[in-house]
Amino acid sequence: MNAIGVAAMAENYQRFDPLAYLQNNYVAPRANFTSEEFVVPWKLRCLADAFATGKITGHTLIDIGTGPTIYQLLSACDYFEEIVATDFLEVNRTFIHNWVHNEDKDGFDWSPYIQHVCKIEGKGEPWKEKEQKLKKKLKKILPIDIHQPDPLGSLFSQPADALISTFCLEAASPDRPSFDKAFQNVTRLLKPGGHFLMIGALEESFYLAGEVKLTVVPLSEVDIKESFAKNGYRIHDFHSYKMPPTLKIGVDDVQGIFFIHAQKFA
Ligand SMILES: C[S@@+](CC[C@H](N)C(=O)[O-])C[C@H]1O[C@@H](n2cnc3c(N)ncnc32)[C@H](O)[C@@H]1O
Ligand SMILES: O=[N+]([O-])c1ccc2c(c1)CN[C@@H](CO)C2
């Protein structure tokens, strides 16, 4: 592991501003719910369709690098008893805690996301019911460091039934070797036969989150498929989204987004 690069990354993340990050990525123009040509509905569709297969289910789902967002858990909450959110930064863990416990006076309005997911899931579920269900299942919000051999430390003994991770590994690693090592580290958190859903950035080298500019490991579609294959996964599904010029708004240099559904060999 590139200890100096990882330490520099950790230092940089101390200036990560959750609200700025949310403003950059989770409000218009990127969060336009009128068409799946926009990136956020595209991401929600990928997740809703993956869980609708019913193949991804169990007791515990761990979200690796939750950040200040919960959209990635909305379709999962019908299929797991317990959802574990994790993040490197206390400011993000507190952000999620405040949302779960309705203490988020200066929080973020996730209702358009919850309403959209209820609509595309087509079960006629009232959005406030889904919101309450997720809050009830989000039982743990833990510190994590993907560069540690045991990312959750002693906080988590038995492997999880499934993992989800969105924009974390490539955005938290200083270089490709560190990314590959982090991939191995998080794979240890998943039981054999468990499913892993990942959403991430394609060919991105930086992103902004307030005053700070974070470096990102540029990944191609081949890179990410290779990472899963060489770490003992079978790829069930892969989709990619090309970022339209209208959504290239200066907050990063992302070229596209990938969605992958993989299963760890038993
Ligand atoms: C680009 S954000 C992704 C947030 C959210 N999952 C989403 O979909 O927008 C990257 C996240 O990785 C977290 N992170 C940074 N370094 C990390 C590390 N060493 N281990 C785990 N997470 C880390 C950051 O705190 C941040 O929340
Ligand atoms: O278009 N989006 O919906 C979207 C959402 C989150 C993020 C990006 C794009 C690109 N940058 C990553 C950080 O590496 C975070």
CB of 22 closer than 6 A to ligand 1?
A: no
Closest ligand 1 atom number to CA of residue 147: 19
Domain coverage including residue 201: 3-264
Q: What residue type is assigned to position 43 of the chain? A: K
How far is ligand 2, taken at its centre, from the CA of residue 179, in Å? 17
Q: Which residues contact 34 (CB under 8 A, 6 or more apart)?
A: none
Choice from 144, 145, 168, 178 to test ligand 1 binding pocket (greatest atom count within 8 A of CB): 168
24 labelled ligand-binding: no
Tell me the backbone φ, ψ of residue 134, rounded to 5 degrees.
Answer: -65, -45
Distance from C-alpha of 17 to C-alpha of 21, rounded to nearest angstrom: 6
In one-letter notation, the amino acid at residue 146 is I
- Per run of 10 residues, the mean pLDDT along the chain (length 266 residues) is 94 98 97 95 98 97 98 97 98 97 87 98 98 97 97 86 98 97 97 98 98 98 97 98 97 98 96
Q: How far is the CA of 201 from the centre of ligand 2 (A)?
A: 7
* pLDDT tens, position by position, 123-149: 999 999 999 999 999 999 999 999 999
Angstrom distance (rounded) from CA 260 to CA 122: 23
| Kind plus residue range of the DSSP H or E element containing 109 | none
- C-alpha Rg value of the chain to the nearest Å: 17
CATH number of the domain where residue 131 is located = 3.40.50.150
Q: How many helices (H) and strands (E) does the chain have?
A: 9, 9
Tell whether ligand 1 has an atom less than 6 A from the beta carbon of residue 146: yes
Ligand 1 centroid to residue 69 C-alpha, Å: 10
pLDDT at 156: 73
pLDDT at 97: 97
Domain count, the chain: 1
* Centre of ligand 1 from the C-alpha of residue 60, in Å: 20
Q: Which secondary-structure segment (H or E) carries 64? A: strand 58-64
Classify the C-alpha dihedral 148-150-156-162 as positive or negative.
positive
According to the model, what pLDDT value does residue 180 have? 97
> Does residue 147 have its Cβ closer than 6 Å to ligand 1?
yes
pLDDT for position 1: 78
0.90 cut: is pTM over it?
yes
- Ligand 1 pocket, 67 CB below 6 A? yes
Q: Which residue among 254, 255, 258, 259 is best mutated to probe the pocket of ligand 2, counting the most ligand atoms within 8 A of its Cβ?
A: 254
User: Is 85 near ligand 1, meaning CB less than 6 Å away?
Assistant: no
Per-residue confidence (pLDDT) for residue 176, from 0 to 100:
96
> Is residue 175 within 8 Å of 218, Cβ to Cβ?
no
